[in-house]
Amino acid sequence: MQSVTKIFRTLPLSILAFVFLFAFLQLHCQLFSDKTTEIQKLALQPKEGQKIAAFAEGCFWCSEHIFESIPGVTEVISGYAGGHTKNPNYELVNTETTGHAETVLVYYDPSKIDYAELCRIFFLSHDPTTFNRQGPDEGSSYRSILFYSSDLELKIAKSIQKEIEKKQIWKNPIVTEYQELKEFYQAELYHQNFIKSNPNQSYVQAVSIPRYQEFQSRYNLYRKSKNGLK
């Protein structure tokens, strides 16, 4: 049997070039297949025994990491909501023309954490006083939005905003939008669990991790100061 090396040596250059080009394209597709995955519009139906909530508060890498750390939260998905364009992708949303904001869809167990507490976490895990901006990220896709699914959730969310304002956590007025949750598009696969998968990435190290640590400190202090208020 001829060796692989001998076989390649006997092939015409044109065929060899085709073989190497095909191999390169196959490798390229494998490396970037996650980035070209079609956006998914998710059904807003949680599993039995769970509920859902959605929040936009800047970079969804940061938000996902924060909400995943909360006891009672079972799953967090990064995606897009609050816009008018069908099937938005990351590049399109970043043009600031689709109306969408980077959003996290939070699945939670209501026997372990309630919607009010998730709203507190929302208001404490980002600066809700900055218009179309969160940290170094600017644009409407980074604006603060609290999504609700019922009149009761809207009432609860607004009561928590008043509670936060009374505590004077933030010096400036809160500019958070309130929107009914109508559609949620799951972002590309490479955005999911980004911090866990890319702990040494420069943005993660410079922005995401410090923001998470600030939230932890702020949230712990707030829980101590509110004396059981819910």
Q: Reply yes or no on whether 59 is catalytic.
A: yes
3-state SS track over the chain: CCCHHHHHHHCCHHHHHHHHHHHHHHHHHHHHCHHHCCCEECCCCCCCCCEEEEEEECCHHHHHHHHHCCCCEEEEEEEEECCCCCCCCHHHHCCCCCCCEEEEEEEECCCCCCHHHHHHHHHHCCCCCCCCEECCEECHHHCEEEEECCHHHHHHHHHHHHHHHHCCCCCCCCCCEEEECCCCEECCHHHCCHHHHCCCCHHHHHHHHHHHHHHHHHHHHHHHHCCCCC
Q: From the candidates 29, 59, 62, 119, give the one annotated as an active-site residue.
A: 59
Just list the catalytic residues. Answer: 59
